[in-house]
Structure 1
Amino acid sequence: MTGISPSNPPQSPVHEAAEAATNTAPVEVDTRPVNDSDSTLSSEISTYTASLTSSVLNYPTEFGRQYHAYNADSYNFPNDEAERERLDLTHLLITKGIGNRLFLAPVDLNRSARVLDIGTGTGIWAICVGEEYPSAEIIGNDLSAIQPTWVPPNVKFEVDDVEQPWVHDKFDYIFSRYMSTSILDWPKLVENVFEHLRPSGWAEFQDFDLLYYSEDGSITDDHHLLKWMKLFIDTARTKLNREPCPGPRLEGWIRHAGFTNVVHRKFRLPLGSWPKDPQLKDIGMCNIAQLLEGLEAFSLKIFCGVLGMPMDEVLVMLAQIRQELYARKYHALFDL
C-alpha cells in the first residue's frame, strides 16, 4: 500500500493497532485447542459477520450471478447483493488491517477538501469519510450505481470508468483501494491521479498481493487454495491483461509518475483465526469470512467464462477449498 504527495507535508503517525500487521516477526500461532468441525467455523463466522453488519452502513445475469452492465468487460466480478455484502466485509478487513483507520495519508479533511474515491464499490468508504468530515466534498465513482440512496449531503456518486478520460476538476485527496484485477493500464491511472491533484495534494493507493503464503511452511503447492489462487492470478494476467497483485508494484508506478514524498507500507492479513494476537485473530476472521462469501464471485466468470471450465468442475474445486479452510490446515496470509 502506498501513499504519496507531489509536495512534502509531514508524515502520518504510526498507530499501535497496525503494529501487529506490519511487524516483520513471524505471526505467532494460537495453540489453544479448537473444534475443527465445519459447523464450528461456520458458527464463528456467522456470529462474527452478524456483529459486523450492525456496525456498517437492468444488470446482466451470468452463472447465476448479477454483473455490471456499463463497460461490462472492465470488471469480471458480480455486483449483486451477496457481492455488496462481501465488499463491505472487505472494507472492514482493510480498515482493521491498517489499524482501524479509513486512510493513512496525513491529509487535512476538516477543511473544505475535495476528495475522489476511485472504484467506490458500495460507497461505504466515501460514506464513512463524509460522515467523519462533514466539510469535505466526497465524490465516489464506480461502474455500477449500487450505492445507497440515503448518504451524507457532502457525498455523491457517479457511474464512471476510471480508465476513460477524466473530466473532473482537481482534488485535494484521491483515494484508490482494492482495484486488483480491475485496471488495464496502471501507469496511466497513476498519471491521471497525479494530474488531477492540487498542489500539496495527496493520493493513497491501498491494494493487495493476492498470493497466499505461510511463514511456517504450512501451506504448499499441494493445497487447493494455493492452486486456485495461482490459476486465478495467471488467468488475470495472461487472458485479461489485468494485474491481480498490484500492491508490490505500486511504488514503482507512483515514482515514475512524478510523485514525491512516497511512503510504502506493507500489512499482513492472516486468513482465519489461527493467530495468537487478538487483533490479527480478528483480522483473520474477517478475511476468511469475505473469502468464503466470495469464492464463487471470484471464480465463476474467470474460470467458466474466460477459461471455459465446466461449472461443475469449478464448484468441486471451490468445495475442496472450503473443506481445507474448515479443517484449518494451514496458517495462510496475504499482504496489503
Structure 2
Amino acid sequence: MDKQLLNLTFTVVPGSSDEDSAFEDGSSYATSVASSVYNYRFENGRRYHAYKEGEYPLVSDRVMRDRIPPNLRFIIDDCEATWSFSSKFDYIHARTLGGSIKDLPRLLKQAYEFLEPGGWIELQEYETTSKTDDNSFPEDSALLRWVENLNKAAAKFGKPTNIAPELKQHVMDAGFTGVEDFVYKVPMTPWAKDKKLKEQGRFNQLAMLDSLQAYTLHLFTNVLGWSVEEAEVYLVDVRKELMDPKIHMYST
C-alpha cells in the first residue's frame, strides 16, 4: 500500500481563524462533543462516520475502537474546517493524512497560524507505493494493481493518498522555516535479514492485512464502480502476495 515515511519538523510564527465545529461551544476546544458526531452510517457491514457524511472514506467501527488506548481522549472535528480553537499550540502532530485531506495547503496554513511563535509541527506520512530491488513482484501483481486503483480512486474522490512526495514543499509554502525531512526505506513484510527491519516488516504486514478491506470497499465500490463481491475476490490475491516471503517489497 504505502511507505515513504517523512518526518518533518520546523519552526514557526502565528495567525488566527474561526468557523463552526463539532463542539457545543466553539469557544473552547476541550468542551463536550456535540451529540450529532456520535451518529454513524453502515455500509458493506462496516461502520462509517455520519458527521459530514461522505467526507471521510475509511471505517470507524468496533474493530478500530477496540485498539484505542485507555488514556486517549478524542475531540472530534473536521480539521479542514476553519479552526476555532480558543488558544494556540506549542506543538502540532499529524500522521497518515493521505486519503483524508482535500486541501492540504490550507490545512498546513491553519496549523501555521495556530502555533505559538517558536512552536513545532511534526508530520509522518507514508508514500502510497510498493517496490522491490530484485524484481520479485509477479508480472501481473495484484498488490501493485491494488495500489494503482487505490491512488486512482482516492484522487477521483478528491482526497489523494500519495501526498508524501509533495509534503515538504507544502510545509514550506505554508510559511514554516527550519524544515527537516527524513526519509526511510521501510519493508512491508518480514523478509529482511536485519532483526529490526524484520520486526518492522512484520508489523507492516499485519497492518496491511488488517486494513485492506477498510481502505478498499468504499472507494472501489462508490468511486470505481466495483461490486462488493468483485472487491472481496480481488483482495484474496492481494493478501496472498502480502503473505509471500519471496516478494521483497518495501516503500521509501
- Report if the CA contact (8 A) 1:221-1:227 is conserved: no
The answer to whether the aligner puts 1:310 opposite 2:222 as a matched pair is no
More helix by proportion, 1 or 2?
1
Report how many residues are paired: 220
Q: Please, which of 169, 179, 187 is the counterpart of residue 262 of structure 1?
A: 179
Kindly report which structure 2 residues correspond to 1:145-294, keeping only aligned pairs within 5 A, or say none.
148=70, 151=71, 156-168=73-85, 169-219=87-137, 222-237=140-155, 239-294=156-211
Give the superposition deviation at 1:75.
0.9
State how far apart, in whole Å, the 2-side matches of 1:293 and 1:264 are. 29
Provide TM-score, normalisation by structure 2.
Answer: 0.82
For 1:265 and 1:325, locate their aligned partners in 2 and report how far apart those are by CA, in whole Å: 26
CA contact (8 A) 1:83 1:294 kept: no
Distance in 2 separating the partners of 1:61 and 1:251: 36
Distance, in Å, in 2 between the alignment partners of 1:324 and 1:210 is 17
Give me the whole-angstrom Cα distance separating, in 2, the residues matched to 1:195 and 1:170: 8
- What SS does the corresponding residue of 2:233 show, helix, strand or coil? helix
What is the alpha-carbon distance in structure 2 between the residues aligned to residue 262 and residue 305 of structure 1? 38
Deviation at 1:325, TM superposition (A): 2.3
Task: Encode CA deviations 1:212-255: one digit per residue, 9 max, x unaligned.
Answer: 11122222662100000111001111x21112011121110011
The structure showing larger relative contact order (alpha-carbon pairs under 8 Å, at least 6 residues apart) is 2
Query: Are 2:12 and 1:6 equivalent residues in the alignment?
Result: yes
Structure 2 letter corresponding to 1:66: R
Instruction: Show CA shifts across 1:64-123 (max 9, x none).
Output: 1011111122210111122346xx5xxxxxxxxxxxxxxxxxxxxxxxxxxxxxxxxx4x
- Determine the structure 2 residue equivalent to 1:14: none
**Equivalent position SS for 1:181:** coil
Unaligned runs of 5+ residues in structure 2 are: 1-5, 14-38
Task: Quote the offset at 1:327 in angstroms.
Answer: 2.8
Which amino acid in structure 2 is aligned with residue 81 of structure 1? R
Q: CA deviation at 1:329?
A: 3.8
- TM norm structure 1: 0.62
Please list the CA deviations of residues 24-46 of structure 1 after superposition, one character each: whole Å capped at 9, or x if unmatched: xxxxxxxxxxxxxxxxxxxxxxx
SS in 1 for 2:183: coil
Q: Runs of 4+ in structure 1 displaced over 4 angstroms?
A: none
What's the secondary structure of 2:74's corresponding residue? strand
SS in 1 for 2:116: strand
Structure 1: gaps spanning 5 or more residues: 8-57, 89-121, 125-147
Distance 1:315 1:260 in 2: 45
